[in-house]
Amino acid sequence: MSDFVTPVLLMQTLAAVREAGRIITEAWEKPRSIKYKGPIDLVTETDVAVETFLGKRLREILPEANVLGEEGSPAARPEGTTWIIDPVDGTTNFAHSIPQCGISLALWRNDTVEMGIVYLPAEDELFHAVRGEGAFLNGKEISVTDESDVEHALVATGFPYSIREDIDIVMQNLRAVLMTTQGVRRFGSAATDLAYTACGRFDAYYEIRLKPWDLAAGWLLVEEAGGKVTLYDGVTPFDFGKGILASNGKVHKAVAALITDTDD
């Protein structure tokens, strides 16, 4: 159980995330101002506005913590006590008014995620977890599925921004999973995929080349909901910079046998 995340800290952080979510909902029907960070990697003014707002609020809540955000931090991974922010995970979805997008926020301390929050404002779904205290959706405790047969498993995945370079391994893995499981879903938001795995909508999820802000919060959600998170081999504890495999635990080994990371 976390001895760092107090009820007051959790309450203040959840309130800040909900308030930041209103920036997204207020922008939902407005024209998007879009810039490209890469050939298929984009950012909107809403991403910047949410990260700026949250960065300010979180420094007020926990002044001693660093802030690692997708849009404003040059760091590659957290150091010390750090807020890890993805202001709009699934920016392409947001740009096209697809509801699977939202805020991913994690609190990192002592080389572990102590608190994770994923808020999907278009659907008003607020997921949160504190280490050792379970995972919740809109205040109701959630858990992973009990499915143990990989042929009945619904699996989520994502495609990296480096898809043009990684197309062979992505398609190899996708073919293997499609041929073996009940089906595959691709929503374009790692935070959504991990939250959905935590609450039992998916049985497993895998993806390569994600950044800490994409998955830190969802990583804790899955574990606190009773699931398992590792590298693609299904055994090695997960670490930033590697492919992530998250599941209900019961189909973990079977899904791991189907997929290969780019480093394997």
Give the whole-angstrom CA distance, residue 220 versus residue 239.
13
Please check if 70 is assigned to a binding site.
yes
> Does 264 score more than 90 pLDDT?
no
Kindly state whether residues 71 and 162 are assigned to the same domain: no
Give the whole-angstrom CA distance, residue 180 versus residue 125.
31
Contact criterion met (CB below 8 Å) for 206 and 232: yes
Kindly state whether residues 107 and 168 are assigned to the same domain: no
Please check if 86 is assigned to a binding site.
yes
Please check if 168 is assigned to a binding site.
no
Residue tagged 């081999």 (tokens): 233
Kindly state whether residues 110 and 163 are assigned to the same domain: no
- Bridge partners of 112? 109
Domain total of the chain = 2
**Residue at 89: amino acid letter:** D
Kindly state whether residues 60 and 177 are assigned to the same domain: no
Kindly state whether residues 163 and 246 are assigned to the same domain: yes
- pLDDT digit string, tens, across residues 210-227: 999 999 999 999 999 999
| Residue in 242, 190, 254, 241 with CA at minimum distance from that of residue 219 | 190
Kindly state whether residues 114 and 174 are assigned to the same domain: no
Q: Which domain holds residue 71?
A: 7-142
Q: What is the CATH number of the domain that holds 183?
A: 3.40.190.80
Q: Is residue 121 part of a domain?
A: yes
Final residue of a structural domain among 142, 161, 190: 142
Contact criterion met (CB below 8 Å) for 221 and 125: no
Q: What is the pLDDT of residue 29?
A: 81
Final residue of a structural domain among 142, 160, 177: 142
Kindly state whether residues 38 and 132 are assigned to the same domain: yes
> Does 116 score more than 90 pLDDT?
yes
Kindly state whether residues 49 and 163 are assigned to the same domain: no
> Does 81 score more than 90 pLDDT?
yes
Please check if 239 is assigned to a binding site.
no
Q: pTM (2 decimals)?
A: 0.94
> Does 1 score more than 70 pLDDT?
no
> Could you tell me what percent of the chain has a pLDDT over 90?
82
